[in-house]
Amino acid sequence: MAGSIYGTLFRLSTWGESHGDGIGVVVDGCPAGLPLTEEAVQQYLNRRKPGQTRYSTPRRENDTVSILSGVFEGRTTGTPISMLVKNESQRSSDYSEIAGYYRPGHADYTMDQKYGFRDYRGGGRTSARETIGRVAGGAVASKLLEELGISVCAYTRSIGPVSINYKNCSKENIEKSPLRMPDLHASEQAEELLEKTMKEQDSLGGIIECIVSGVPAGIGEPVFDKLDACLAHAVLSIGATKGIEFGAGFDAAAMRGSEDNDGFTADACGHVRKTSNNAGGILGGMSDGSEIIFRTAFKPTPSISREQQTVNKAGEPITVSVRGRHDPIVVPRAVVVVESMAAVAIADLMMCSMSSRLDRMKDFFGKTK
């Protein structure tokens, strides 16, 4: 399958390897008339960029985006938006030795099995640089959602065993914390743990939580393209993710129906609202008008300089220590990647939902004639 294309009506086609000429994305299906500038996209990319803190690779990559098509006089034209980020800081020699063996926790072995050989330089297409295309595309989706009154906000919920305490959280803290934790006390604890882990030549994982506000009720296409199913597809396609849960998630499995069920009520204007949100904003695979909440687990960075046992291509046992410039934790930089994939999935499903009712179609086309 052509696996580098996502979406039905709002589509990303991403490309690029760690050590090729660049990384990019084509966004196809974005509606015409959306204000879009390189600066706006760059802001999203800057949140993903390495070198922001000492907890990310010291590689200097500006990751400057160029919009090559699809925008005219500051607005999208409805035609494909091609965006390009040139690769700058590659040192291919760093990686040459990994061509011959399989790094634990990496896709070296599976790539070789699937394709017969691989571009081993910096992990090639399996490098985290691949997410640049996702973030540039996600920036466009986020801008579109913003125009429709929808916001997507993700943050670090935990790093290793250190979790945030909701009592200490504020949205403003997220960008203040080098780890993107909305609880600055937890952030400090996590930083200490990271320092210790780095000294031990090891790495950590964590959990990202994402909240989407303002999605109208009824988005998601049962029975296979439910909102949660599509969000899961989009988010779990990000490298290093190991799971996703919505609302009460895995905890719901241990609840009783009377606890888990969210009651319905009506607000002063007669709008139907829920009295709790164990559902995470999704009922029967469709948005229910409340906040959409999900969490996704990231495994620890597999690239560690500590010695590990593996085999080379000949099947001979060897000991390796993964060198190069690697993040001891991917979670803080992945926050904007999670937001991006959520935005893309929701933008796509919103477009797909526009033909769900004849009365709305008649109204829509009645005006275009």
Map the footprint of a copy of itself across residues 109-168, applying CB under 8 A.
109-111, 113-119, 121, 124-126, 130, 144, 147-149, 158, 160-161
DSSP 3-state of 217: coil
CB nearer a copy of itself, residue 88 or residue 170: 88
CA distance 211 to 224: 23
| Sole window of 55-63, 167-175, 179-187, 250-258 interacting with a copy of itself (rule: CB under 8 A) | 250-258
Q: Minimum CB separation from a copy of itself for residue 367, in Å?
A: 8
Name residue 26's beta-bridge partners: 13, 82
Nearer Cβ to a copy of itself (170/284): 284
Site size toward a copy of itself (CB under 8 A) is 173
Site residues (CB under 8 A) for a copy of itself, limited to 259-278: 259-266, 270-272, 275, 278
Residues 63-102 that bind a copy of itself (CB under 8 A): 66, 68-70, 72, 75-82, 84, 102
By CB under 8 A, what part of segment 36-65 binds a copy of itself? Answer: none
H/E element holding 234?
Answer: helix 227-236
CB of 15 to a copy of itself, least distance (A): 4
Tokens of 45: 């990319």
Interface with a copy of itself (CB under 8 A), residue from 65, 298, 332, 339: 298
Cβ neighbours around 297 below 10 Å, total:
18
Closest to a copy of itself by CB, 299 or 325: 299
Q: Which stretch binds a copy of itself (CB under 8 A): 4-12, 46-54, 56-64, 172-180?
A: 4-12
Among 51, 185, 233, 291, binds a copy of itself (CB under 8 A): 233
Cβ-Cβ contacts under 8 Å for 51 (sequence gap 6 or more): 57, 58, 59, 60, 61
Nearest to 155 by CA among 127, 182, 135, 129: 182
Residue 93: exposure state from Cβ atoms within 10 A (0-12, 13-18, ≥19): exposed
CB of 43 to a copy of itself, least distance (A): 20
The distance of closest approach from Cβ of residue 77 to a copy of itself in the complex, given in angstroms and rounded to an integer, is 5
Structure tokens at 229: 């199913």
Structure tokens at 125: 């297409």
3-state secondary structure of 321: coil
339 binds a copy of itself (CB under 8 A): no
Cα distance between residue 67 and residue 82, in whole Å: 6
Stretch that binds a copy of itself, among 45-53, 55-63, 172-180, 353-361 (CB under 8 A): 353-361
The pair phi, psi for residue 234, each rounded to 5°, is -65, -45
- Rounded to the nearest 10°, the torsion over CA 128, 204, 167, 340 is 10
Residue 337 within binding range of a copy of itself, rule CB under 8 A: no
Among 188, 308, 324, 325, binds a copy of itself (CB under 8 A): 308
CB distance 342 to 231 below 8 Å: yes
Residue type, 342: A
Q: Which of residues 8 and 170 has its CB atom nearest to a copy of itself in the complex?
A: 8
Using the rule CB under 8 A, give the single segment among 48-56, 166-174, 175-183, 255-263 that binds a copy of itself. 255-263
